[in-house]
Structure 1
Amino acid sequence: MRFATRLPGERGLAERDADQIALIRGQIMGVGDRWRVKHPWIAGHQDAIGMAIFVVAIAGVLGDAALYVAGVLPWWATVLVTAFWLSLLHEIEHDLIHSMYFRTNKWVHNSMMLGVWVFRPSTINPWVRRRLHLHHHEVSGTESDLEERGITSGERWGGHRLLSLLDTVLGYAMRPFRMRRLVHAYVAQAAQDPEDARRLAVTTPLGYFPLAGLHYGLWYLTIGLHIYDLFGGRIAYQGAHHALDFVAVTLLAPNMIRTFCLHFVSSNMHYYGDVEPHNVLQQTQVWTAKWLWPVHALCFNFGGTHAIHHFLVRDPFYVREAIRAECQAILREHGVRFDDFGTFGRANRFGLAAPTGSVEV
């Protein structure tokens, strides 16, 4: 039986949980090692595979746009298929954040980072997100986990949470003081020194600049023009209007629906608030229910594989998906929760009883 070394933050956990985490991590590592032995060519060309998926996904987005213009794909099919390609680019970005592709070739690595950002302009700057995401792994489930708290994890379900999942910018705008508090908590915990704190305080709020500003500005303009048209208004510059509709169908709307699917899954499958720091057993659950298939199709089965990633960061997304079934059996055997939808009523709390009194949001 293979055991993995405990990570530094896990040494303060209860002995039983720390040993359990090390056991799970070791077994998942063993599954991945056996998969690599069975598929040596794939395992030996990780950079090339990452680049191939990157290129294919971008070609898919451009191809969908061409088919839409040619009248082959209707608008709704263009939105859904393009959202799938964009979900692949999200996975590539996530792997890049963990330096899984072109680790020693910074030019190619950063070019890919720029590419996944340009085709997903609704998202945060990936270089800013790298710091947020690595911090997420360190403090998952706590107040300074800005990556998850920023997409409503830990908030009671209601109108604001739904609005935030449908439109991140409107969610932030509705509760600006909440976001200011979350950013402050993140900076206070993540900064290495006062100079780093000042830098984070500036770069983090600007993470959506400039692409997200352009994306959401065009999105709101598109919606506004269609509402104006619906009520009988006459729109000048019809050519520009049609061009805007083209951008909305081929890029803006696919990003909106993909983002909703990812944020809906991620914000609800992570636990928050009553988790022990660094205790991976309490950070996530696994989602496998069949009713989730439509949203999982547009976030590459995030709910089914992300818990694996919390235990072992090493594997790129396509390897996690390939070994998913065996790893899920390991997680289930060792008590990791599956399909705990009671979190919808518990504001992501790990405890199985609904929280009483006020819940901090």
Structure 2
Amino acid sequence: MNNTHTISTSPLSKTEQESINDITQKITQHSNELRKRYSLLGYQNVIGASVMTLSVTGMVIMGALYIKGIIPGWLCILVNALLTSLIHELEHDLIHRLYFRKQPLAHNLMMLLCWITRPGMPSPWLRRELHFHHHKESGTDTDVEAWITTSGSTWGAKRFLKLIDGFVFGIVNALFAPTWREKIRLTVKVLRLNAPMGLLYWGCWYIFLGYHLYTWASSLMGIAYQPSPTTSMLMNVINSAVVIIVAPNIIRQFCLFFISSNIHYYGDVTPRNPLQQTQVMNHWWLWPFQLFCFNFGSTHCIHHFVVRDPFYLRQMTAPFAHKVLAEHGVRFNDFGTYKRANRYNFTQPES
């Protein structure tokens, strides 16, 4: 895979292009040195498959322990959220074909496991198209992936809703479209992006919330609610699904989108200029969010310069890479992005 940036059509200055080339070359050289130093890194397919096996097995074990009453629900939720953050990193690497590139059966099996364990996300095969475009046109108006994670939106109730519940946001956004044709088009788009896994995922979540809100309200009003045997059995299944897979992914997705949407610049970046596409966010107070997205804010900027390295190697190269990025003016912990709706320039976006 070509891990450099071909930017012949981009209005970059000679200095910017030289900086991009220098960053890419130095980080690539450093990761090559790590590969030589640690022979285990040469078994990339084995590492990816092992992380997937351990993560999925861990989720199944935690789910079984919860169902048997051996561990509390909160522990299952937190551990599985951590495990799904690993699986997200695997999916991101798989989208770039970093594992089993020449073995489609194994590659697609891993992709399927990523989707099953993170059903609230669109199909990884569909995401591949969006993600490749994100790399090509990061931060521009056509960068759908950045828009999905709320980049470019001003902070408020609308952005917060989009962070915690993309499905409801999509439906609400469709309902407020100016014409019926646009309402239908956007609704179909939301359903298509979420079919079929996401519809089951969000369906479980809304039934869970609705049922428990109803029983809570009934108890407040002094009404004795006695569910039927069928309802009890259905809710046992839904309650377990929420604890084992839905709630962990809601936590993981919120943390990932919060970090991702703020490390990416949007709206006024120079096209195809990785110097402006992302920043590094590694301030100490971000660690609760970083925990559930595998240190994404600290390492994702590296990926925009060197695509070929898997997620665990980015963690290893980060101390060196951060020095190189800083030398070339890539930003660190620019929290002003919250006020600027992710604009790169230090001006407030027009309302």
Same fold (TM over 0.5): yes
Instruction: Output one character per residue of 1:175-226: Cα deviation in whole Å (capped at 9) or x when no partner.
Output: 127999xxx9xxxxxxxxxxxxxxxxx9896232100011001100000000
Q: Given that residues 225 and 235 in structure 1 are in contact (C-alpha distance below 8 angstroms), is that contact kept between their aligned partners in structure 2?
A: no
Partner in structure 1 of residue 42 of structure 2: 44
In terms of mean alpha carbon deviation, does 235-244 or 31-40 score higher? 235-244
Partner in structure 1 of residue 133 of structure 2: 135
**CA, structure 1 residues 271+205, in 2 after alignment: closer, same or farther (shift >3 Å)?**
farther
Amino acid at match of 2:33: R
Q: Given that residues 282 and 350 in structure 1 are in contact (C-alpha distance below 8 angstroms), is that contact kept between their aligned partners in structure 2?
A: yes
Partner in structure 2 of residue 190 of structure 1: none
**CA, structure 1 residues 169+132, in 2 after alignment: closer, same or farther (shift >3 Å)?**
same
Alignment equivalent of 2:313, drawn from 316, 319, 324: 319
Partner in structure 2 of residue 341 of structure 1: 335
TM-fit CA distance, 1:78: 1.0
- Is residue 247 of structure 2 the alignment partner of residue 248 of structure 1? no
Alignment equivalent of 2:95, drawn from 94, 97, 102: 97
Q: Given that residues 11 and 270 in structure 2 are in contact (C-alpha distance below 8 angstroms), is that contact kept between their aligned partners in structure 1?
A: no
User: How many angstroms apart in 2 are the aligned matches of 1:217 and 1:11?
Assistant: 44
User: How many angstroms apart in 2 are the aligned matches of 1:207 and 1:59?
Assistant: 27
Instruction: Output one character per residue of 1:60-82: Cα deviation in whole Å (capped at 9) or x when no partner.
Output: 11111122123332111111110
TM-fit CA distance, 1:52: 0.3
- Secondary structure, aligned partner of 1:235: coil
User: How many angstroms apart in 1 are the aligned matches of 2:143 and 2:283?
Assistant: 27
Q: How does 1:186-265 map to 2 (within 5 A)?
A: 206-232=192-218, 233-236=225-228, 237-265=231-259
Aligned residue pairs total: 334
TM-fit CA distance, 1:334: 1.4
TM-fit CA distance, 1:324: 1.1
Q: How does 1:141-156 map to 2 (within 5 A)?
A: 141-156=139-154
Partner in structure 1 of residue 18 of structure 2: 19
- Secondary structure, aligned partner of 2:339: helix
Instruction: Output one character per residue of 1:8-45: Cα deviation in whole Å (capped at 9) or x when no partner.
Output: 457641111111111111111111011111112x2221
**CA, structure 1 residues 81+10, in 2 after alignment: closer, same or farther (shift >3 Å)?**
farther
Instruction: Output one character per residue of 1:306-343: Cα deviation in whole Å (capped at 9) or x when no partner.
Output: 00000110100010011111111111121110111111
Percent sequence identity over aligned pairs: 42
Structure 1 residue runs of 5 or longer lacking an equivalent are: 185-201
Partner in structure 2 of residue 188 of structure 1: none
Normalized against structure 1, the TM-score is what?
0.88
Structure 2 residue runs of 5 or longer lacking an equivalent are: 183-187, 219-224
Q: How does 1:119-130 map to 2 (within 5 A)?
A: 119-130=117-128
Normalized against structure 2, the TM-score is what?
0.91
**CA, structure 1 residues 315+178, in 2 after alignment: closer, same or farther (shift >3 Å)?**
farther
User: How many angstroms apart in 1 are the aligned matches of 2:277 and 2:176?
Assistant: 22
**CA, structure 1 residues 215+5, in 2 after alignment: closer, same or farther (shift >3 Å)?**
closer
